[in-house]
């Protein structure tokens, strides 16, 4: 027992300050504050790292759920039928009128193909620091939701302020029977300067024409009759309307996209695929983070 007490006393004596020691409150307070600053600096760094990780996971690892209406092609994109040039029509022999013989009037020739502008799918400043390509299928339900709930805000906050150039690309998937026809209507409207009006109408009335296939009736509700007549002529006769679809699908293949909607964000020459599209709050955080780099 005595040995234990001696050992305890020896340990306590080692903790006692030397006889000439005097406390320095100023130095002690300064050291305490320095430790406090180091602690808070490490805590802020830890929270920043955690927030960045959560944002990254939220954007890039969002599962493709049926509740989101993501349309996925599990195998590969359907092959594109490259339109063949129309055969050169045979020369028409005009009959020479004879006395008492009525010559029937020639049929009205088909309208000449309208050159499709290459930029009607783009909006925003060409020098915007960020380019956002949105790949959609007109018959994809979630694509309609994206165009109704996210694209308008994206335009207002980023496109119209010069921060982002938005490019709409067609990615019709094989399971949607009317998606390609809808793309022809939209692209014909683009050739006539009515792209956004018709795109919005196609998405807005998707639940109607997806059942009947009558896209024409829905588009006719937002265009003047004369413009609608010209649009129908293009849809029915201009094979070049499919050229932009083929180009968009080729880009989707290079990016290994197989679902709609999908985003491809390009910043400082680096392309980043975001699929499926996250909620706008996460997308906004991601874009704002790019703009601060």
Residues 212-259 pLDDT 10s = 999 999 999 999 999 999 999 999 998 888 999 999 999 999 999 989
Find, among 196, 193, 179, the residue nearest to 143 by Cα. 179
Find, among 121, 122, 147, the residue nearest to 203 by Cα. 147
Residue 119: per-residue pLDDT = 85
Take residue 284 and report the two structure tokens written for it.
Answer: 């906004």
Most confident of the ranges 46-60, 92-106, 239-253: 239-253
Residue 81: per-residue pLDDT = 40
Average pLDDT over residues 20-26: 65
Interaxial angle between packed helices 25-60 and 280-291, expressed in degrees from 0 to 180 and rounded to the nearest 10: 120
With beta carbons less than 8 A apart as the criterion, state whether 132 and 165 touch. yes
In order of start, what are the domains of the chain with their CATH numbers? 113-126+137-259 (3.40.30.10)
- Residues 131, 147: Cα–Cα separation, whole Å: 17
6 pLDDT tier (thresholds 50, 70, 90): confident
- The string of DSSP codes covering the chain is -HHHHHHHHHHHHHHSPPTT----HHHHHHHHHHHHHHHHHHHHHHHHHHHHHHHHHHHHS----GGGT-EE-SS-PPPP-PPPPPPPPPPPPPPPP-TT-PPPPPPPPPPPPPPPPSSTTEES-TT-SEEEEEEE-TT-HHHHHHHHHTHHHHIIIIITTTSEEEEEEE---TT-TTHHHHHHHHHHHHHTT-HHHHHHHHHHTHHHHHHH--HHHHHTTSS-HHHHHHHHHHHHH-GGGGHHHHHHHHHHHHTT--EESEEEEEETTEEEEE-SPPPHHHHHHHHHHHHT-
Take residue 23 and report the two structure tokens written for it.
Answer: 């406390």
Residue 10: per-residue pLDDT = 67
Average pLDDT over residues 111-116: 41
Residue 293: per-residue pLDDT = 82
Find, among 91, 215, 67, the residue nearest to 141 by Cα. 67
Q: pLDDT tens digits, residue range 162-203?
A: 999 999 999 999 999 999 999 999 999 999 999 999 999 999
First vs last C-alpha separation in the chain: 69
pTM attached to this predicted model: 0.64
């Amino acid at each position: 027992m005595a040995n234990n007490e001696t050992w305890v006393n020896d340990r306590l004596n080692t903790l006692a300050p030397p006889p000439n020691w005097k406390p320095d409150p100023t130095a002690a307070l300064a050291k305490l504050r320095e430790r406090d600053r180091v602690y808070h600096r490490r805590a802020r760094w830890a929270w920043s790292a955690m927030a960045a990780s959560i944002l990254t996971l939220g954007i890039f690892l969002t599962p493709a759920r049926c509740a989101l209406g993501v349309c996925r092609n599990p195998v590969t994109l359907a092959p594109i039928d490259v339109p063949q040039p129309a055969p050169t029509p045979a020369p028409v022999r005009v009959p020479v009128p004879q006395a008492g013989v009525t010559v029937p009037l020639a049929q009205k020739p088909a309208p000449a193909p309208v050159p499709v502008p290459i930029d009607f799918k783009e909006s925003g400043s060409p020098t915007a620091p960020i380019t956002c390509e949105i790949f959609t299928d007109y018959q994809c339900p979630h694509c309609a939701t994206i165009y109704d709930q996210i694209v308008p805000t994206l335009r207002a906050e980023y496109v119209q302020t010069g921060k982002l150039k938005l490019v709409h690309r067609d990615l019709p998937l094989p399971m949607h029977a009317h998606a390609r026809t809808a793309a022809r209507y939209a692209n014909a409207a683009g050739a006539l300067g009515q792209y956004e009006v018709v795109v919005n109408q196609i998405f807005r009335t998707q639940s109607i024409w997806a059942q009947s296939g009558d896209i024409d009736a829905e588009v006719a509700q937002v265009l003047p009759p004369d413009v609608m007549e010209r649009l129908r002529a293009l849809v029915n006769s201009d094979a070049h309307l499919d050229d932009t679809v083929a180009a968009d699908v080729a880009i989707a293949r290079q990016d290994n996209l197989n679902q709609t909607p999908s985003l491809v964000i390009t910043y400082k020459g680096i392309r980043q695929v975001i699929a499926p599209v996250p909620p706008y709050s996460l997308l906004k955080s991601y874009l704002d983070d790019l703009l601060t780099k």
